[in-house]
Amino acid sequence: MSLKSIAAKIFAKKIHKKTIKWASNPVETQQKVFESLIRQAATTQFGKDHHFSQIKTFHDFANQVPVRDYEALKPYVDRVVKGEENILWKGKPIYFAKTSGTTSGAKYIPLTKESMPFHIEAARNAILSYIHETGNADFVNGKMIFLQGSPILEEKNGIKLGRLSGIVAHFVPNYLQKNRLPSWQTNCIDDWETKVNAIVEETINQDMAVISGIPSWVQMYFEKLKEKANKPVGELFKNFNLFIYGGVNYEPYRAKFENLIGRKVDSIELFPASEGFFAYQDSQKEKGMLLLLNAGIFYEFIKTDEFFTENPRRYTIGEVALNVNYVLLISTNAGLWAYNIGDTVQFTSLKPYRVIVSGRIKHYISAFGEHVIGKEVECALQEAMKYTTIRVNEFTVAPKIAPNSGLPYHEWFIEFENEPNNLEEFALSIDAQMRKQNVYYDDLIVGKVLRTLVITKVSKNGFQEYMKSIGKLGGQNKLPRLSNDRTIADKLV
């Protein structure tokens, strides 16, 4: 065992002890975060506007600070972007993470000197948790690749801005620099297809031990590797045993990945976003990711079925329940307050608090009152593929409200790697799983409001071509699993 491996195990044990300490006192930990955030932001413009100096309890906060998304917070953000100080957080941000916007174009998410270290520590601690639990630290001696956005940053009124993954690239610790791929020059390539081809050339003869990225884009990298080397990725990289991912559910991709790799590898799931690093998988044995309660973020939760009602109840960490779908709200040391990031979560454990990402509050289908969420379609597909040779590369679902004939239905757009022998039979299998999971959907089928779902096959690389056509190929961009309209669907047919 190398000195590097031994040092990693010692450090992993130290971090594990710290994690246990705060995870064992969740309510107290969150209360300390809450008090610190309110105190530090009391003299900001937002703090003055919302009377932070008078806030003593969470009840005070909930009464004085309404739930906002980016559009509602934008008047404050615009002032920060113009270079004004002490608006949402003390001083000025050190970065803006630039992400795709909705109605207002690009979004600028502030990153402060207080918030940035938690992004780095969380990613590090996820790996250390894996080392502590499994005792496997040999991979620290091999090469590691992180598929990410370009680290080239722009500047706006004295504040640097770029994609979060590109910003994070500037914080890779020195002890990882020699092991890290791709090269800086390759990482700076903007065009995703050109970049992936360059990464293949740089890595194909290397001893890759850890590979990290969003599954859909890592899949593209693996396919190109396998095509060029004419052998499975696991045979090409004999010491590759750890895949780190985030952004989307890995399960729909797992079978395809194992086929591309040629064997099973351990995986670590992360829950990062420009707004904060919220959770990571701390155990290979337990379901869900450890919610980071001591990372400069105060969490609130609203039940999804109450979210669009007037004045829904806002729950704190000590009030949540298992297996309930919640909209996640955050207040952070980057100046986001009661902020709806758009993700929904479910708790899989309360000791410690672990979550899974169940979907997006804006990505759902309820054209007929069915309230279908991302987790349900992913689970239905996964169950339908069990014990079959069917493999799926990518998929999305949309309602067909006014077909030329017959009842409306949910249309599933699927790009197959291995097609089913009988497409209609496979569609019925998925439909049966959907009805098991969603009672509203089942009622609509039984009541003959909807007919059973229909599968439309998407040609090979069809989803990649779609993402390319809207300028979102690669990087942190993700294809929505669900749409309540036909915006995506009509571009796929």
Q: Which domains does the chain have, with CATH numbers?
A: 1-293 (no CATH), 374-492 (3.30.300)
Task: Give SS3 for 287.
Answer: coil
What beta strand segments (E) does 286-352 contain? 289-291, 297-303, 326-332, 339-350
Q: Quick check: 414 and 391 in contact, CB under 8 A?
A: no
Phi, psi for 72 (deg, rounded to 5)? -75, -30
Instruction: For residue 131, give the amino acid letter.
Output: I
C-alpha–C-alpha distance, residues 255 and 416, integer Å: 12
Give Cα 304 distance to the centre of its chain.
18
Q: Quick check: 358 and 374 in contact, CB under 8 A?
A: yes
C-alpha–C-alpha distance, residues 47 and 44, integer Å: 5
Instruction: For residue 108, give the amino acid letter.
Output: Y
C-alpha–C-alpha distance, residues 377 and 169, integer Å: 34
The angle at the Cα of 246, spanning 244 to 250, to the nearest 5 degrees, equals 85
Give Cα 439 distance to the centre of its chain.
27
Q: Quick check: 328 and 364 in contact, CB under 8 A?
A: no
Per residue in 221-278, pLDDT (tens digit) is 999 999 999 999 999 999 999 999 987 778 777 888 999 999 999 999 999 999 999 9
C-alpha–C-alpha distance, residues 463 and 395, integer Å: 8
C-alpha–C-alpha distance, residues 205 and 339, integer Å: 45
pLDDT value for 177: 66
Task: Give SS3 for 415.
Answer: strand
What's the whole-model pTM score? 0.81
Structure tokens at 294: 């001591």
C-alpha–C-alpha distance, residues 256 and 382, integer Å: 12
Q: Quick check: 336 and 330 in contact, CB under 8 A?
A: yes
Structure tokens at 337: 């307050």
Residues sharing a CB contact under 8 Å with residue 480, sequence separation 6 or more, in sequence order: 360, 363, 396, 488
Please classify residue 236 by burial: count the beta carbons closer than 10 Å to its beta carbon, then call 0-12 exposed, 13-18 middle and 19+ buried. Answer: buried
Q: Quick check: 80 and 72 in contact, CB under 8 A?
A: no
pLDDT value for 175: 62
What does DSSP assign to residue 140? G
Q: Quick check: 95 and 275 in contact, CB under 8 A?
A: no
For the chain, which ranges sit under pLDDT 50? 101-104
For the CA atoms of 260, 261, 266, 269, the dihedral, rounded to the nearest 10 degrees, stands at -40
Q: Which residue has the tokens 């309602």?
A: 399
Task: Give SS3 for 347.
Answer: strand
Q: Indicate the angle between helix axes 423-437 and 374-385, nearest 10 degrees.
A: 130
φ/ψ region of 235 (left if φ > 0, alpha if ψ in -120 to 50, else beta) reads alpha
From the CB of residue 29, how many other CB atoms can be counted at a distance below 10 Å?
A: 18
pLDDT value for 100: 63
Structure tokens at 120: 């780095």
Cis, bond preceding 182 (omega within 30 deg of 0) = yes
C-alpha–C-alpha distance, residues 455 and 492, integer Å: 13
The angle at the Cα of 484, spanning 483 to 486, to the nearest 5 degrees, equals 75
Structure tokens at 441: 């959907």
pLDDT value for 151: 86
- Tell me the β-bridge partners of 121: none
Please classify residue 151 by burial: count the beta carbons closer than 10 Å to its beta carbon, then call 0-12 exposed, 13-18 middle and 19+ buried. Answer: middle
C-alpha–C-alpha distance, residues 155 and 459, integer Å: 40
| End-to-end alpha carbon distance in the chain | 55
